[in-house]
Amino acid sequence: MIFKNFFTNSIGILVSRIFGLIRDLLTASVLGANVYSDIFFVAFKFPNLFRRIFAEGAFGQTFIPVFVNSKNRSIFAYKTFTKFLIFLIFLSFIVTIFSGFFAKLMALGFDDATLAIASPLVAINFYYLPLIFTVTFLGSLLQYKNHFATTAFSTALLNISLIGSLLLTDGMDKKSIVYAMSYAVLIGGFLQVLTHFLAIKNRNLLKLFKFGFANRKKKRALDENKKFFHSFFHAIIGNSTPQISAFLDTAIASFLLTGSISYLYYANRIFQLPLALFAIALSIGIFPKVTRLIKNSENIKAFMLFKNGFWFLLFLLTMSALGGFILSEEIVKLLFQRGAFSREDTIQSAAILQMYLVGLVPYGLAKLFSLWLYANMRHKEAAKIALFALSTNILLYAVLVEPLGVKGLALASSCAGIVLLGFTIHSFGIKKFLDIIRDKKLAIFTGMLIVYIPALLYIKEITSAYL
């Protein structure tokens, strides 16, 4: 059941990323790496930042444990959904009114002319946030029912919408293209909401909302809502390290050479593929089960499930990180070097990709270990660890950016991931971690590395001659 959920999530994410790759290929070919691509990536980064911190990360990790233990699930679900949605719609209006300020906040290095173009795009893209929150909320209810396919596969709809906008506007001026892409983001969000609504309706979960609305004035779920929001605040911080790091990367990159934001974006897109395909897919797949087992005091079963997930994830992430690092230039060249994307763009993006991949295994495993903390309602510990890792990241900017330039931003983020993993394992328990490591799988893993690395070097030698 658990690995079925993993493969469902992975296949859905893979389908989405294939469409995302097509989207990025078209974006690189049509826009290249210049001021207009920088503007769109900045405008889309802000809702993505909030989406990953609030919706996909903190919300699900807090909602599911409280929902599982709730005695008034319909009232709790209804009140949680309405409070969040009203807040996010209000926040979207604020961003619309002060879009110039938020654009400046995200890209401090943009001049006034560039900010004038970016500001309305920031406002348009931000309305994706209440849409994707709705998707995340409905997806959490579906996860509780062990249904993962709708959420996994519907993520492709955003990319399909963006691909359509690029195809329809090919040949137009670049300003018109980025506007079309921004509106396509909203269309993709509406389509995701629609698919989740249909899935909720088909599984007769709408009765939760009906009963919750009918009993909305009752105070039976008041304590649960307080517990949820208290834990949610800590979960926001706990999920913020990689997201705020990416946000800071963009802000600092706006002071560097033109195209730096785009180099970071293209490299990070490749980095995010194995992270999402393996770490996020596995974490989502086992989180509801681990939560239920811990709730029922079946800690040994929960630990064994977690242990199997660790080795499965370690194998996949290590293979991906080594392969991506050694073949970074070949990967970027194969994916993006065409049209407006030049050879120099490939070299810059590949070097940044290598720096990001240093942190792939740490970030992926930290995602897995943190779910154990969230399943045990230890959100505050996860928040403290994330704050320490984020502080480390900011300090490393001062050390690495000047000598390495934009590559230093990616390396600082990876080093923060190592710190995040170390402290998360400490909170998980060193003894439990050693119990996981002391396994015959360690010898198999070491043997695979001995064979795998020379094979990668041979593949690099062959592919370099053809690309």
d(CA 123, CA 120): 5
Instruction: Give residue limits of the domains in the chain.
Output: 1-226, 239-467
Global pTM? Answer: 0.74
**Cα distances (Å, whole numbers) of residue 47 to 29, 131, 138, 163, 363:** 24, 10, 19, 19, 21
Predicted local confidence at residue 170, as pLDDT: 80
CA 25 to each of CA 13, 22, 86, 392: distance values in angstroms, whole numbers, following the listed order: 18, 5, 36, 34
C-alpha–C-alpha distance, residues 393 and 413, integer Å? 6
Residue 344: per-residue pLDDT: 86
* Per-residue tokens: 346: 């490939």
Residue type, position 363, single letter: Y
Nearest Cα residue to 59 out of 128, 143, 137: 137
For residues 197 and 138, the answer to whether their CB atoms sit within 8 Å is yes
Distance (Å, rounded) from C-alpha 150 to C-alpha 163? Answer: 21
Supply 196's token pair. Answer: 């989740």
**How far apart are alpha carbons 162 and 180 in whole angstroms?**
8
Q: What is the largest CA-CA distance in the chain?
A: 70
**What pLDDT, on a 0 to 100 scale, did the predictor assign at position 161?**
93
Each residue's pLDDT expressed in tens, for the chain with a length of 467 residues: 556 666 777 787 788 878 887 887 788 777 766 677 777 877 887 677 666 666 556 677 777 777 777 777 788 888 888 888 999 899 999 989 988 888 887 666 677 788 888 888 888 988 998 998 899 889 888 887 878 888 888 888 998 999 999 888 887 878 888 899 999 999 999 999 999 999 998 888 888 877 777 776 666 555 666 667 766 777 666 666 666 777 777 778 777 777 787 888 889 888 988 988 888 878 877 887 888 788 788 888 889 989 998 999 999 999 999 999 999 999 898 888 877 778 888 898 999 999 999 999 999 999 899 888 888 878 788 888 988 998 999 899 889 988 888 889 999 999 999 999 999 999 999 999 999 998 888 999 999 899 988 888 888 878 776 66
- The token pair at 377 is 């309602």
Task: In whole angstroms, give the CA distance from residue 166 to residue 245.
Answer: 29
Cα(215)–Cα(209) distance, rounded to whole angstroms? Answer: 10
Rounded to whole angstroms, the Cα distance separating 420 from 136 reads 25
What residues contact 197, with CB distance under 8 A and at least 6 apart?
A: 138
Residue-wise pLDDT tens digits, 192-207: 999 999 999 888 888 8
